[in-house]
Structure 1
Amino acid sequence: MESHIVKITAIHQVTHDVKCFRIEKPSGYQFVPGQATEVAINKSGWENERRPFTFTSLNHEPTLEFTIKRYVDHKGVTDQLHQLNAGDELILHDVWGAIEYKGPGYFIAGGAGITPFIAILRQLHRDNQLTGNTLFFSNKTAADIIYVEELTAMLGNNVRYILSREQKQGYENGIINTNFLRSHITDFSKHFYVCGPDKMITDINAALEKLGANANLVVFEK
């Protein structure tokens, strides 16, 4: 089992409850945009508390990046991570994950479920291959949207923000369901990339099947 002790090199606030962590990159450590690893904190009592996090950096970069939402109520790993500082250590494990780019289509994300898509969209942007891709990004409020400025700059009119608990000019209000997908998607033969809470993934996959999407072209973490 692969294991690496690495230092945090920088931390910055992304939203009110999301931080970006820059981490040392072990020699030879490789991943595909969309993949993840299990992370633990290298301090007493937390070394075996491993949680999955997706890389939001790109493979060519000299450091790794994770973009992590804090769940204070859980009093668990994310809460501890948000209390760390540059210089503190993490333990990284094997790279894994089923989410990777297969071709142009629709990205459907809920909250922190955007993280696998961040690296994919950044890589496509770097390679000038974003054409033909659309992002639907659902959050409770506008303040919850991760990397809103960057996503808007990359995708322009091909990103739609949906707010479930707030009405605000420039944003759609509601949830991503069968009716939403029917009214916003013109080609159900394209690829679909889905990530978010488990129930959201189940519901959206069922809705896509109902609307005629090819199950073999729906990419999600199984």
Structure 2
Amino acid sequence: MNQSSSQDSNSPESGTADWQDYGKYRGRVLHREKLANNVSRYIVEKPEGFTFQPGQAVELAIDEEGWREDKRPFTMTSLPSNPRLEFIIKSYKTEENPQHDGMTEHLGRDVEVGDRVIFGDAWGTITYRGPGIFIAGGAGLTPFIAIFRSLEQQEQIEGNRLFFSNKTKNDVFLQGDLFRMLGRSAVCTLTQETHPDYESGRIDREWLEHRVDDFSQNFYVCGPPAMVEDIQEILKSLGADPEALVFEGKE
């Protein structure tokens, strides 16, 4: 899930799961490691009875005094069949991103192996509907990871492409996994620096026109809200079917 979305922690509109049940499950952090600039992988106990589909998320909070009510949406990046849950989470500094109220900063800085998190039932509208182009901005990649892993497991990943946008090369994560699964169909672009191993530029109309021949296929889009909105409008103006655009919040 793209955790860059700002949400009121008291809003019953967050996600599609029952807001009162967000603390239904608890799990201990079994492992954590840094993947990129402010991005970490967390392996968490999988509670009995918890199920999800690739691409879905949960409302998650830190099981600690003062933090249990501060929940945010995060996507499971592991496969549903895995005995453990994996989350890949980007931390945001409060002084630069006050809308996050310090939750992801505290998670990235202070939560260690043995600490617990609490979360509710899985929800989300980003599910696989057939081959297409996946467009991700930063942490917006996370809903696509389990989808790609599931497709690879089923030997059905062929025919899909990924456009992955980040500010700098130090922000890119899971590049090896993406190239292993998708090969040259995975394209990473940088918006704030140039590097010989990456493409450059924002994913805008011109960028897409140079790389996409068929706009009648499925498009999966996830990232900062402004980026998602802009890309949706660009795709529709280039002939994409609105019904073939998959993004969080779409009914």
State the TM-score bracket (shorter-chain normalisation).
Answer: over 0.9
TM-superposed CA distance for 1:16, in Å, is: 2.6
Q: 2:218 aligns with which of 187, 191, 209?
A: 191
Amino acid at match of 2:244: L
Q: Unaligned 5+ residue runs, structure 2?
A: 1-19
Aligned to 1:21: 42
1:153 counterpart letter in structure 2: R
Structure 1 residue 6, shift from structure 2 partner? 1.4
- How far does the alpha carbon of each residue in 1:158-203 deviate from its partner, in whole angstroms, 9 at most, with x for none? 0111100011102111100111111111111111000000000000
Unaligned 5+ runs, structure 1 = none
Partner of 1:86: 113
In the other structure, the counterpart of 1:135 is 162
Alignment of 1:29-178 (within 5 A): 29-73=50-94, 74=98, 76-82=102-108, 83-178=110-205
Deviation at 1:72, TM superposition (A): 1.7
Instruction: Using the TM superposition, give the Cα deviation of residue 70 of structure 1 relative to its aligned residue in structure 2, in angstroms.
Output: 0.8
CA distance in 2, matches of 1:199, 1:216: 20
User: Is the contact between residue 50 and residue 121 of structure 2 (CA under 8 Å) also seen in structure 1?
Assistant: no
Task: Give, as a single letter, the amino acid of the residue that structure 1 aligns with 2:56.
Answer: Q
Instruction: Map Cα deviations across residues 28-65 of structure 1 (whole Å, 9 max, x no partner).
Output: 21111000000011111001111000000110000111
The alignment's C-alpha RMSD in Å is 1.0
**For 1:204 and 1:218, how far apart are their aligned partners in 2?**
10
More strand by share: 1
Correspondence 1:7 to 2:22 = no
In 1, Cα distance between the equivalents of 2:71 and 2:120? 9
What is the deviation of 1:88? 0.3
Partner of 2:4: none
How high is the sequence identity, in percent, across the aligned residues? 45
Would you say how many aligned residue pairs link Structure 1 and Structure 2? 222
Q: Secondary structure at the match of 2:226?
A: helix
- TM-score (norm: length of structure 2): 0.86
CA distance in 1, matches of 2:225, 2:73: 14
TM-score of the aligned structures, taking structure 1 as reference length:
0.97
C-alpha distance in 1, partners of 2:26/2:47? 9
Give SS of 1:72's match.
coil
Aligned residue type for 1:78: T
Q: In the aligned structure 1, how far is the partner of 2:45 from the partner of 2:82?
A: 11
Deviates most, 101-110 or 146-155: 146-155
CA positional deviation for 1:206: 0.2
Identify which range, 36-45 or 68-77, moves more after superposition: 68-77
